[in-house]
Amino acid sequence: MLEHPVVPFLVAAAVAGMVPRRIGALVLLAAPVVALLQLLALDEGTTQHLDFFGYELTVLRLDDLSLPFAFIFIAIAALAGLFGFSTFSKGEQVSALLHAGLGIGVVLAGDLLTLFVMWELKAVASTLLIALGRNRSSPGAAYRYLLIHVLGGSLLLGGTLWHLSTGGSLAFDQFDGHASSALILIAFLLSAAMPPLHPWLPDAYPSASIAGSVVLSAFTTKSAVYALLRGFPGTELLIVLGVAMAFYGVIYAVLENDVRRLLSYHIISQVGFMITAVGIGTAAAVNGATAHAVAHILYKGLLLMGVGALVHATGKEKLTDMGGLARPLRWVMVLYMVGALSISGVPLFSGFVSKELVIDAAYGDNMYLVVYLLKIVSVGTFLSTALKLPWFAFGGPDRGIPIRPLPATMFAAMGITAAANVLLGVRPGLLYDLMPNPVDYEPFTASHLSETMQLLVLAGLGFWLLATKLKGEPSITLDTDWIYRRGGPAVVTRAHALAATRPQPMATARQYGARTWLRITDGTLGPAGGLGRRDQAPTPTPALGAIMLVAILLLLSTAVISGAW
């Protein structure tokens, strides 16, 4: 059991909690190294079992699908640890180690119960990481994040118990399409940030600290992509949802003024590519989703490190407050641009060799509409990350913004991640050899290169014509979280007003029921509840109590129905 790659992360988290912060930073780097050695020592096809009250759990399953995810998760844990070497607080070190370790636990889980436990604990660890961010919005965002993910976890548990009660197997493999798997699918899509279930992502990720955002960007959505690849490959609905998701992200990114929120919307968009590939479900598409997840973790990590360095150096988060930073932060700009060219799919950078794999899978299945829609999304990605953001952050006259010096470890982390992106772009074989199926694709053909260059050059000219229109505005963009942050409280307040007009002494059963209901919704949706609070320091008890109650009731009722206990 000790050779499980999760173990070094859990041990390191315990150690980091006890030692001084500076030593904890070293522990944060050591854990991934040990985990990597353990992973390399394990043979592909290894499984480890654990007997749990008569259930045989598969706590470790290392096969050709889980290997690339486990590998890249370990790599980004080390890189993020290096990036946050001098900025992570002690609490963040502990929660980052837990979050990374449990993310690896999710992709290595071979049965549904282990998956659920890892999934939920991972959500708790990421909540801590967000809450420990040093932004004014951190506690509120963390709290909303927790409530949404507890809902997702309840759906996963409910779906799993229902699946088991109808004779389904505990093994985590492709689901059979029974109604119970719909609950599990929704839980996975919620974690993958599928609109309209996505607003937790752009709400929470920019609220963490700068290195916290790098850690967060890697694990939650990509372990959901892994879970979808494992459980729902070839589900055609996912093609439509994936393309819609890819568009949703780029449209919001065009409107966004906050640099980390802009990149958060691009996570949604890029995960859309992966989910489209999951929906196509062929061997080539599974490779595409996996390769794009691996490359995405690397280039998105680099992009968030780049803007993290910007935020660290300037203390500013909005594009409208930046500008003229090309000279004082020259190397940050260069390294950021490596990430930007990678996500845009420019040849010789990592995104080119992975994104084309997804598009080629759609092409191979004659889904031309999907191909061309994803090409438009690629244009949007290039537009926001490689043109708009650097143009308004680095371009223009120097505004004399005070610059705080950046620690060398930040540059080291960005440099290594940038090198990895270029390496995968130049030698795609390194990436393709990791894939679950043999890759039969040559990225560097004349037609691929010509198509990509045409797309990017003409998009660049389009940007040049309209650059003034893209200039950021000091505004925010409403998203579906409005429903629970403003809509819910409005409904509850209105219900109270209605209840108050009723004659008071008539304590009928109906009124009693209404009051109980209001008590629950007050805790979650009301103006003083967790989701809809306007102040930033919510008192957790009522809302958490209500959510826990729902979770426990769901658990008990499914347990009774299924006769599991």
> At its nearest, how many Å lie between other proteins and the CB of residue 274?
21
Nearest in space to 293 (alpha carbons), one of 123, 70, 81 = 70
Please provide the distance, in angstroms rounded to a whole number, between the alpha carbons at the two ends of the chain.
Answer: 27
* Residue 4 vs 312, nearer CB to other proteins: 312
Strand-pairing partners, residue 49, are: 58
CB 208 within 8 Å of CB 130: yes
Please report whether residue 292 would count as binding other proteins according to CB under 8 A.
Answer: no
Q: Look at the chain and count its residues.
A: 565
Contacting other proteins (CB under 8 A), which of 11, 34, 48, 89?
A: 89
Contacting other proteins (CB under 8 A), which of 464, 490, 494, 519?
A: 464
Contacting other proteins (CB under 8 A), which of 366, 475, 504, 508?
A: 475
Scanning residues 418 to 447, which ones bind other proteins (CB under 8 A)? 446-447
Distance (Å) of CA 424 to CA 32, 193, 292, 304, 559: 21, 26, 11, 19, 48
Please report whether residue 379 would count as binding other proteins according to CB under 8 A.
Answer: yes
Please report whether residue 535 would count as binding other proteins according to CB under 8 A.
Answer: yes
What is the distance, to the nearest Å, from the Cα of residue 311 to the centroid of all Cα atoms in its chain? Answer: 20
Contacting other proteins (CB under 8 A), which of 71, 88, 116, 200?
A: 88
Of 99-107, 154-162, 373-381, 511-519, the segment contacting other proteins by CB under 8 A is 373-381
Residue type, 38: Q
In 3-state terms, what secondary structure has residue 324?
coil
User: How many CB atoms within 10 Å of residue 77?
Assistant: 29
Of 163-171, 235-243, 344-352, 529-537, the segment contacting other proteins by CB under 8 A is 529-537
Of 2-10, 85-93, 288-296, 429-437, the segment contacting other proteins by CB under 8 A is 85-93
> At its nearest, how many Å lie between other proteins and the CB of residue 335?
18
* Residue 436 vs 532, nearer CB to other proteins: 532
User: How many CB atoms within 10 Å of residue 183?
Assistant: 19
> At its nearest, how many Å lie between other proteins and the CB of residue 98?
18
Please report whether residue 321 would count as binding other proteins according to CB under 8 A.
Answer: no
Unique residue bearing structure tokens 């979050």 = 99
Scanning residues 327 to 356, which ones bind other proteins (CB under 8 A)? 328
Measured at the CA of 524, the angle between CA 521 and CA 526, to 5 degrees, comes to 65
* Residue 116 vs 352, nearer CB to other proteins: 352
> At its nearest, how many Å lie between other proteins and the CB of residue 75?
24
Contacting other proteins (CB under 8 A), which of 18, 47, 134, 440?
A: 134
Unique residue bearing structure tokens 């940007």 = 463
- Kindly give, in sequence order, each residue whose CB lies less than 8 Å from that of residue 460, ignoring residues fewer than 6 positions away: 382, 387
* Residue 30 vs 371, nearer CB to other proteins: 371
- Kindly give, in sequence order, each residue whose CB lies less than 8 Å from that of residue 469, ignoring residues fewer than 6 positions away: none
Number of shown-chain residues binding other proteins (CB under 8 A): 63
User: What six digits make up the tokens of 198?
Assistant: 């996505």
Please report whether residue 18 would count as binding other proteins according to CB under 8 A.
Answer: no
Residue type, 439: V
CB 16 within 8 Å of CB 27: yes
User: What six digits make up the tokens of 238?
Assistant: 């996912």
> At its nearest, how many Å lie between other proteins and the CB of residue 479?
8
User: How many CB atoms within 10 Å of residue 178?
Assistant: 14
Please report whether residue 534 would count as binding other proteins according to CB under 8 A.
Answer: yes
Nearest in space to 546 (alpha carbons), one of 525, 564, 532, 560 = 525
> At its nearest, how many Å lie between other proteins and the CB of residue 110?
38
- Kindly give, in sequence order, each residue whose CB lies less than 8 Å from that of residue 516, ignoring residues fewer than 6 positions away: none
* Residue 469 vs 505, nearer CB to other proteins: 469
Of 1-9, 145-153, 167-175, 399-407, the segment contacting other proteins by CB under 8 A is 399-407
User: What six digits make up the tokens of 235?
Assistant: 């589900």
Please report whether residue 485 would count as binding other proteins according to CB under 8 A.
Answer: yes
Please report whether residue 493 would count as binding other proteins according to CB under 8 A.
Answer: no
> At its nearest, how many Å lie between other proteins and the CB of residue 543?
17
> At its nearest, how many Å lie between other proteins and the CB of residue 372?
6
CB 227 within 8 Å of CB 111: no
Please report whether residue 272 would count as binding other proteins according to CB under 8 A.
Answer: no
CA distance 305 to 414: 7
> At its nearest, how many Å lie between other proteins and the CB of residue 153?
26
DSSP secondary structure code for residue 252 in this structure: H
Q: Which residues bind other proteins (CB under 8 A)?
A: 21, 86-89, 92, 134-137, 209-210, 250-252, 254-255, 311-312, 315, 328, 372, 375-376, 379-380, 383, 398, 400, 402-405, 446-447, 450-451, 454-459, 461-466, 469-470, 473-479, 485, 534-537
